[in-house]
Structure 1
Amino acid sequence: MIVAVIMVVIVVASILFHFFSPWWFSPLASNWGYIDSTLVLTFAITGVVFAAVVLFVAYCLYRFRHQEGRKASYEPENKRLEGWLTAITAGGVIAMLTPGLFVWAQYVEVPETATDIEVVGQQWLWNFRLPGADGKLGSADNRLISADNTLGINNQDPLGQDDLVVEGGELYIPVDKPVRFLLRSIDVLHDFYVPEFRAKMDMIPGSVTYFWVTPTQTGTYEILCAELCGVGHSYMRGTVNVVTDEEYQEWLASQATFASLAS
């Protein structure tokens, strides 16, 4: 009986903690409210299953507790019960996965008007590259990285000469305009993550991954690495400033091009 009561208390306390907890999602600052909705739905489904299973066990402990003269019956199979459990489980899994598939389809379909910004991760620093006046990024290769070319930009590619190189972890992007982050790592696995954007993606050495976001609120947000990347992982931080288009253009004008740095 004590165990049954404890299990009921655990369920009640878990539900209360969920609704009155001091922490929840960080403020949303992008178009990815769909991801919040999907997570809430997942919490709801798994929460109901958790409560149902624990309360059922508590009920069984109470209903079938030891009593003098009571004998247990052995029933190894119950096709009706197994059928219900299979149907309910399948329904719950489908309900959790289906919204995610629709969100993922939007997540990887980048708007044609999106601005490309390359994010380069390394132990334990964020660097960035933005297109110059031609609006296009030049090619790059990790094998071209050197003390004078820390991002491995191809100096034989004319498209890369006017690329803007930002070293040190501070990035500016315009508000209410879609941005595609092209993600590249030059050493180990990293993960570019801004909690307020609700979007992130692994950075895999030897390949370029991406995601897109439309920032909806101006402000300064912290960039984190969400993939354990070594002893300095917790110090791999940067800053993304979401600003008006006028401020963004002013910031762009103050950045150095690859050609000027190379010379």
Structure 2
Amino acid sequence: MAIAIVLILVAVGSVAFHIYSPWWWTEIASNWNQIDLTVVITFWITGIVFVALTLFVAYCVVKFRYSKNRRAEYKPENKKLELWLTILTSLGVIGMLAPGLWVWQQYVSPPPNADEVEIVGQQWQWSFRYPGQDGILGTTDANLVSFDNPFGINPTDPAGQDDILIEGDALHLPLGRPVKFLLRSHDVLHNFFIPQFRAKMDLVPGMVTYFWITPTRTGEFEILCAELCGLGHHQMRGGILIEEEDTFQTWLAEQQTFRQIQQDARLHQNRPVKIATDAPAGKE
């Protein structure tokens, strides 16, 4: 009897903790409310199954408790029970998978007017690339990645000359405009994750993955790497700033293009080195 009481308390306590728990999602900042809905559906299905099974076990503990006047009956098969278990299990799996597949199809189907922004991950930092005035991102090649060209942009591609490169700064996005993220990795497997957007995706070396979002409120949020990517994984964080359109355009106009960065690099390389001729006494 004591075990049955404990099982009932576990079931009731689990439901109460879920309802009154102080830990829940942060306020959403993107258009992906459907992802929250799929998680809630999963909670309902798995929660109902958990409570039902726990209470059933408690019932069995009481109903079939030991008695010296009772003998167990062995039934190797029960086709009716197996049929019902198969049907109910199938309905539960369909109930959890179908909404997720429906949302996933939308998640990887950006609208035609979505802006493109490239996200580059490497141990252990995030970098970002915006298309320039032409609205087209230039082609890239991993073999072209260098200190002066960390994105590996093809210098012979005219579309890449006006690309805007951001390193060591937050990712800025305008409020209310759909954005398609193009994800690349320079080294190992990473995962681009913004909890308030309910959005994440793996960055796989050698390929470009993608998803899209529409920011729905202004604010500053944190970018996390949700894939163990090495010793510095815990430090692989970045910032994302959602702002009004005018503020975003002002910030964007202040950033350097790939052409300007390359010109600055060439000027720096060709700059003559000034040699001091009057050294202090005792020094050469």
**TM exceeding 0.5:** yes
- How much has 1:2 moved relative to structure 2? 2.0
Q: Does 1:86 align with 2:86?
A: yes
Question: Which amino acid in structure 1 is aligned with residue 111 of structure 2?
Answer: P
- How much has 1:182 moved relative to structure 2? 0.2
Per-residue Cα deviation, 1:51-93 (whole angstroms, up to 9, x for no partner)? 1111111111111001121111111111111111110000111
Q: Within 2, Cα distance between the matches of 1:196 and 1:102? A: 21
Q: Within 1, Cα distance between the matches of 2:74 and 2:54? A: 22
Q: Which residue is equivalent to 2:51?
A: 51
Which secondary structure state, in structure 2, belongs to the residue aligned with residue 4 of structure 1? helix
Q: 1:234 to 1:105 in 2, by over 3 A?
A: same
Which secondary structure state, in structure 1, belongs to the residue aligned with residue 228 of structure 2? coil
Which secondary structure state, in structure 1, belongs to the residue aligned with residue 238 of structure 2? strand
Q: Which residue is equivalent to 2:130?
A: 130
> After TM superposition, where is structure 1 displaced by more than 6 Å over at least 4 residues in a row?
none
Q: Within 2, Cα distance between the matches of 1:228 and 1:141? A: 25
- How much has 1:169 moved relative to structure 2? 4.5
TM-score by length of 2: 0.91
TM-score by length of 1: 0.98
Are the aligned partners of 1:193 and 1:225 in contact in 2 as well (CA < 8 Å)? yes
Q: Which residue is equivalent to 1:33?
A: 33
- How much has 1:21 moved relative to structure 2? 0.6
Q: Which residue is equivalent to 1:141?
A: 141
Q: Within 2, Cα distance between the matches of 1:123 and 1:261? A: 23
Per-residue Cα deviation, 1:181-231 (whole angstroms, up to 9, x for no partner)? 000000000011100111111000000000000000000010000111011
Q: Does 1:18 align with 2:18?
A: yes
Per-residue Cα deviation, 1:212-260 (whole angstroms, up to 9, x for no partner)? 0000000001000011101111110001000000001001011111111
- How much has 1:170 moved relative to structure 2? 0.8
Q: Within 2, Cα distance between the matches of 1:193 and 1:255? A: 25
Give the length in aligned residue pairs: 263
Q: Within 2, Cα distance between the matches of 1:31 and 1:134? A: 27
Identity of counterpart residues, as a percentage?
A: 56
Q: Which residue is equivalent to 2:231?
A: 231
Per-residue Cα deviation, 1:107-156 (whole angstroms, up to 9, x for no partner)? 11111110000000000100000001111100112221111111111111
> Unpaired runs of 5+ in structure 2?
264-284
Q: Which residue is equivalent to 2:208?
A: 208
RMSD: 0.8
Are the aligned partners of 1:169 and 1:237 in contact in 2 as well (CA < 8 Å)? no
Give the 5 Å matches for 1:90-239: 90-239=90-239
Q: 1:169 to 1:89 in 2, by over 3 A?
A: farther
